[in-house]
Amino acid sequence: MDKPYKICLDIGGTKILGVIFNENDEIIYRLKKRTKGSGEGTENVEQTIINVVAEMVKKSGISLKQVQGIAAGAPGVIDQENGIILFSPNLPWRDYDIRTPLEKKFKVPFYIGNDVNIGILGEYKHGAGQGYTNVVGFFVGTGMGGGLILDGKLYTGSHFKGAEYGHMILDPEGPVCNCGQRGCLEAFSSKQGITKYIRRQASRGRETMMLEHLEGGTFRSKYLKQALRKKDPVTVEAVNRACHWLAVATGNMINTFSPDVVIYGGGVVEATGETFVKKILKEVDNYCMPSIRSTVELKSAALGDDSIVYGALSLIEDAQNRKAA
Q: In the predicted model, what is the mean pLDDT of residues 151-180?
A: 93
Q: pLDDT tens-digit profile of 230-266? A: 999 999 999 999 999 999 999 999 999 999 999 999 9
pLDDT at 88: 80
Q: pLDDT tens-digit profile of 60-117? A: 999 999 999 999 999 888 999 999 999 887 677 889 999 999 999 999 999 999 999 9
Sign of the dihedral defined by the CA atoms of residues 207, 212, 218, 223, in that order: negative
Model confidence at 121, in pLDDT bands (50, 70, 90)?
A: very high
Write the CB contacts of 181 (distance below 8 Å, at least 6 apart in sequence).
Answer: 167, 169
pTM of the predicted structure, to 2 decimals: 0.91
130-302, what's its fold? Nucleotidyltransferase; domain 5 (3.30.420)
pLDDT at 1: 63
Matching CATH topology for 5-115+306-324 and 130-302? yes
5-115+306-324, what's its fold? Nucleotidyltransferase; domain 5 (3.30.420)
Give me the chain's average pLDDT, please. 91
For β-strands 94-97 and 84-87, DSSP reports them as antiparallel
| 52-58 long-range contacts, CB within 8 A, separation 24+ | 52/9, 52/16, 52/18, 53/7, 53/9, 53/18, 53/102, 53/106, 55/31, 56/7, 56/18, 56/19, 56/20, 56/29, 56/31, 57/7
Instruction: Give me Rg for the CA atoms of the chain.
Output: 20
pLDDT reading at 40 higher than 60 = no
b/e 291-300 (16+ beta carbons within 10 angstroms → b): eebeebebbb
pLDDT reading at 37 higher than 60 = no
For residues 145 and 184, is the Cβ–Cβ distance under 8 A? no
Residues in the chain: 325
Q: pLDDT tens-digit profile of 279-300? A: 999 999 999 999 999 999 999 9
Torsion angle, alpha carbons of 48, 51, 56, 59, to 10 = -140
What are the extents of the domains in the chain?
5-115+306-324, 130-302
pLDDT at 286: 97
